[in-house]
Structure 1
Amino acid sequence: MAKQNSQTATSKTAPSSAVVCPFMSFEEVLAMTGYKNRPTLYAQIANGFPAPVALGPLRSNGRASKVAWVRAEVEQWIADVIAAPRHLDRKSQVQSA
């Protein structure tokens, strides 16, 4: 008799009703955006990238001890970047005219 797998055929993914944390860590933001390091990410804030929010108490230097990004803001920024005109699109339009 063939040995039967003790696991039943269940989904390995989280149920659709799973609660997603509204905040993202620095590492999650880097993974989602493709930026490589902290200075690059913080430099993009001046160019319209969402700023983090302070989650912990302020240190003596006035900076937050813990920050996180609002997931909805980062996802909206990504959607806006995708929807924005692309340089290649404009270049091809100029050449075809």
Structure 2
Amino acid sequence: MSKTNTLPQSPFMTIEEVLAVTGYRNRPTLYAQIANGFPAPVALGPLRRNGRASKVAWVRAEIEQWIADRIAAPRHLDRKGQQQPA
């Protein structure tokens, strides 16, 4: 008999998980997308002297909603990748 994992899924995601589900390749790209509406991480650990959090994570529900929004968004691209007139 194999044991199944019955622990609830964490409400937080690590940067590695976020990169894996979004397809972004690296941290700088991911952080640059925050300016374009991508969900920002939340601070989990204490702040360092520079004012940044020592530990951050993304809220799973926010990432899942962002993905759902991308899937539901209109797709008005032609074969050459140019936007078609509306």
TM over 0.5: yes
- CA deviation map 1:53-76 (0-9, x unaligned): 000000000000000000000000
Richer in helix (by share): 1
Cα 1:82–1:13 change in 2 (3 A) is: farther
Is 1:64 aligned to 2:59, yes or no? Answer: no
Q: How does 1:1-97 map to 2 (within 5 A)?
A: 8=1, 14=5, 18-88=7-77, 91=84
Letter in 1 for 2:21: M
Deviation at 1:86, TM superposition (A): 1.0
Structure 1: gaps spanning 5 or more residues: 1-7
TM-score, structure 2 normalization: 0.84
Sequence identity, in percent?
Answer: 77
SS, match of residue 65 in structure 2: helix
| Alignment length (residue pairs) | 82
Rg (Cα) greater in structure: 1
Structure 2: gaps spanning 5 or more residues: none
- CA deviation map 1:21-76 (0-9, x unaligned): 00000000000000000010001001110000000000000000000000000000
Letter in 2 for 1:70: V
Q: How far apart, in 1, do the equivalents of 2:48 and 2:5 lie?
A: 37
Letter in 2 for 1:22: P
Q: How far apart, in 2, do the equivalents of 1:79 and 1:66 lie?
A: 26
Query: Structure 1 segments of 4 or more deviating over 2 A?
Result: 12-15, 87-91
Letter in 1 for 2:73: A
